[in-house]
Amino acid sequence: MGRWEPGAGSRLREAALNLYLERGFDQTMVNDIAERAGVTARTFFRHFADKREVLFDAAAELEEKSLAALEEAPATASALELVAAALDAVADTIGHDRELALMRHTVIMANADLRERELIKLAQMTAALADGLRRRGIGDAEADLAAEIGSAVYRVAFRRWVDAAGDLELREAIDQSFAQLRTLTAAD
């Protein structure tokens, strides 16, 4: 596994995030990112499929962990309890670094192309979650609906978490959103 300086992928990720923050996504050339990371543009595209993916390739790990949490949940868990377990796994993975999440979120919200990529990643996560629920024996339609609900809960919770001054944990925000969901559905 020979190379010049190890960790090119991490350096590219960090350089990209910082440059996107400093001057904006459109104003950042792939050449700039590569230069700051000490590699060439060609190498950037060997690590990331495109200029956007550098912000999103961590999603694979997230999906992996949330699906693992699904498998480990007790056999008696209901569909929504399974979803909650998956979301807790997500919170454990990214919840410890609000600063990073905030930077990433700021960059993504500032650019339409990045928002597109964010949406499709979330949609992929939702589909994977629904599949995981089916593997746990949840019925087809119920799995789809529960996964969509989980996606909505996560969206709301994440937004509250990054908007909060820092006195709210991501996991707490998820719990709160779930509670609000129960209130709303009970009220109708």
Partner DNA sequence: GCAGTGATGTCAGTTGATGACATCACCGTA
Partner DNA sequence: TACGGTGATGTCATCAACTGACATCACTGC
List interacting residues with DNA (CB under 7 A). Answer: 1-4, 8, 28-31, 34, 38-43, 45-47, 49-52
97 vs 113 by CB, closer to DNA: 113
Whichever of 29 and 100 has its CB closer to DNA, that residue is 29
CA distance 154 to 158: 6
Q: Are 65 and 90 in contact (CB under 8 A)?
A: yes
Residue 74 interacting entry, from DNA, its own copies, none, C-beta within 5 to 8 Å by type: none
Cβ–Cβ < 8 Å for 80, 141: no
Residue 184 contact partner, candidates its own copies, DNA, none, CB within 5 to 8 A by sort of partner: its own copies
Give the position of tokens 């209130």.
Answer: 183
131 vs 142, beta carbon nearer its own copies: 142
Question: Is the CB of 42 or the CB of 74 nearer to DNA?
Answer: 42
Distance of alpha carbon 86 from alpha carbon 147, whole angstroms: 10
Task: Report the partner that residue 183 touches, choosing among DNA, its own copies, none (CB closer than 5 to 8 A by kind).
Answer: none
Q: How far is CA 114 from CA 26, 52, 96, in A?
A: 10, 6, 23
Residue 100 interacting with its own copies (CB under 8 A): no
Q: Which residues contact 29 (CB under 8 A, 6 or more apart)?
A: none
112 binds, among its own copies, DNA, none (CB under 5 to 8 A by kind): its own copies
- Residue 72, binding choice from its own copies, DNA, none, Cβ under 5 to 8 Å by partner class: none
Name, in order, each residue with C-beta under 8 angstroms of 129's C-beta and a sequence gap of 6 or more.
Answer: 66, 67, 70, 83, 86, 147, 150, 151
- Token pair for 70: 């699904």
Site for its own copies in 103-162 (CB under 8 A): 112, 115-117, 119-120, 123, 141-142, 144-145, 148, 152, 156
CB of 19 to DNA, least distance (A): 10
